[in-house]
Amino acid sequence: MKALERYSLYEIEQLRKLKAWQKKMQQSPGIIDKLGSRVQKKINSYIPEKIHDALTAVIKKMIEAVLFTSEFVKPAVVTNKSMQEIEQSVETRMEYYRSTAAVEGGVTGFAGILGSVADFPLLLAIKIKFMFDVAAMYGYDTSNLKERVFLLYVFQLAFSNPVKRASVYERLAHWSQYSQQIPDDLNSMDWRDFQQQYRDYLDIAKLAQMLPGIGAAVGVVVNYRLLNQLHKTAIMCYRMRRFGELDKELSERN
C-alpha cells in the first residue's frame, strides 16, 4: 500500500484500469481471434486490387508526413498539470475530433463506395491530428523524432489484430529501451506491416459503408467507434509511460 501513497486517488483508479488493460494486451489470441484473422484475409481477396493499392499509398504517405514533415508538429507541450487535469483536457479534445469524424463519415458514406474511398485519408488525418494533440497534452514534444515513432506505434496498437497485438504492445511497454534501437535514418525502417495491419483492421468495418442506402448511417457509427478505440489506446499508452517515469523518478530519489 505504501507504494500507492505517492499517487492521488484519481491516479490510483487509473492505475487499476491500466493494469487490467495491460493484462488484456498480453493475452494470447484465442480461437475466435484466429478465425477472425482468416475471415479478414478472405474479405481482402474480394476487394479490388486497385482499392488495396490506393489505401496502402494513403497510409504510406501518412507515415512519411508524420515522420519527415512538420505538417502535424504544431501543438504546444503542456507542463505542470496533474494527470486528472490532463485527461480532462484530452476528453474535451476527443469530443471535438469524434464529432468531426462522425460527421465526415456520414457525408462520405452517403456517396457509397467512392465516398468511402475518399473517407479513408480524411479519417486518417483526423486520427493523426488527435494523436499529436494527446502527446502534447501529456507533456511529450512531438518535434522529437522518436516521439513521432512512439505515436505511430500507439496508432498501430489501436488497430492491430490480436495475433499481432502483443508484439506491438511489448515495444510500447519497454519504450525507453526500445527507442534506443531506433535508427537515425528512419527510411531504413520497414513500415509495411503497419500499413497492412491498419488497412486490414478497417476493411470489415468499412465495407458496409460502401452499401447504397445505409452507407451514411454506417459511416457515422464506424468513425465514431474508431475514434473511441484510438482514444482508449492512446490514453492507456501515455498512462503507461507516465506511471513508469514516475516510478523511476521516485526510485532514484530513494
- Indicate left, alpha or beta for 112 from its phi (over 0: left) and psi (-120 to 50: alpha): left
CB 136 within 8 A of CB 112: no
The amino acid at residue 213 is G
Total-model pTM: 0.79
| CA dist., res. 185 & res. 179, Å (int) | 13
| CA dist., res. 155 & res. 128, Å (int) | 8
- Grid cell for residue 216: 451514411
pLDDT in tens, the chain (254 residues): 445 667 889 999 999 999 999 999 988 776 766 666 666 666 566 667 776 677 777 777 777 778 777 666 667 888 889 999 999 999 999 988 888 776 665 544 444 444 455 556 777 788 888 999 999 999 999 888 889 889 989 988 988 877 788 888 999 999 999 998 887 766 666 666 676 677 666 544 555 444 444 444 444 566 777 788 899 999 999 999 999 887 666 555 55
| CA dist., res. 1 & res. 181, Å (int) | 36
